[in-house]
Amino acid sequence: MNFIWDGVRGAFWIIVNGDSDVVGVVKVTLRLALLSTLLALAIGLPLGLWLGLARFRGRRAMLAGVNAGLGFPPVVIGLVVALLLFRGAPLGSLNLIYTVNGMVLAQTVLALPIVAALTAAAVQAVDPNLLMQARALGASSARVGLLALREARIGVLAATVAALGSALSEVGALVLVGGNISGQTQTLATSVLTEVSAGEYSRAIALGTILMGLILVLSAVLTVVQHRGQREAVA
């Protein structure tokens, strides 16, 4: 058990001293998480809203497909994205393989079903009479959609938390697309895997501690916003 205690002590000093390599990994992690979550929201919110409100043939099949996306193995999604980004592949000319931008693309694909499925479910739970009343008063489709999103904001925030958590903790897909290159495409989660494999338990514990801290802080902020939205809804 001594190696665990030694690892904890080493992790403490790494965090306190502000290791430049660790700071770089944190920056990459935050960039990846924030960009992929924003992109997933930009695409997933309108998609989820459409699936939640519209009535058209094939809607159930599309909802089933989006919901199935929640269970897709991330490593398989990462493999597909990597194969599309390799030199000579359909998207190879974009030069995104083994780059942070390529990782953002892969994580956006992973987070998109999360945002779309949870948004659609939240919108479907909105009181239909409220939306019918808005239409009867002459509200446009865009205004009805905004009203539905406002009423479903608690579910939308839950989707945001889930997408952000997925981005911070993903490993397999990001290793395949980003290559886990030291100083370039390593994230906190992928770095933990590397350090453990190398027997560097102090650094692994430090990176894991920082990762857990980031998840807790960001989740806490979004949870506070969510609870505030709940109080406003009750009021």
CATH classification at residue 51: 1.10.3720.10
SS3 content of the chain, % helix, strand, coil (to 5): 80, 0, 20
CB atoms within 10 A of CB 56: 9
107 within 8 A of 39, measured Cβ to Cβ: no
The predicted-structure confidence for 130-153, as pLDDT tens digits, reads as follows 888 888 888 888 888 888 888 888
* Per-residue CA distances from 19 to 73, 114, 191 (Å): 33, 34, 14
**Predicted local confidence at residue 18, as pLDDT:** 73
Residue 45 belongs to what H/E stretch?
Answer: helix 20-53
**Predicted local confidence at residue 172, as pLDDT:** 93
Below-70 pLDDT ranges, the chain: 1-4, 6-8, 226-227, 229-235
**Predicted local confidence at residue 86, as pLDDT:** 94
Number of domains into which the chain is organized? 1
**In 87-192, beta strands by DSSP E:** none
**Predicted local confidence at residue 99, as pLDDT:** 96
Q: What is the C-alpha to C-alpha distance for residues 175 and 191, in angstroms, rounded to an integer? A: 10
User: Quick check: helix, strand or coil at residue 27?
Assistant: helix
**Predicted local confidence at residue 94, as pLDDT:** 93
Which structural domain range is residue 171 located in? Answer: 2-234
* Per-residue CA distances from 64 to 18, 58, 120, 121, 203 (Å): 46, 10, 11, 12, 42
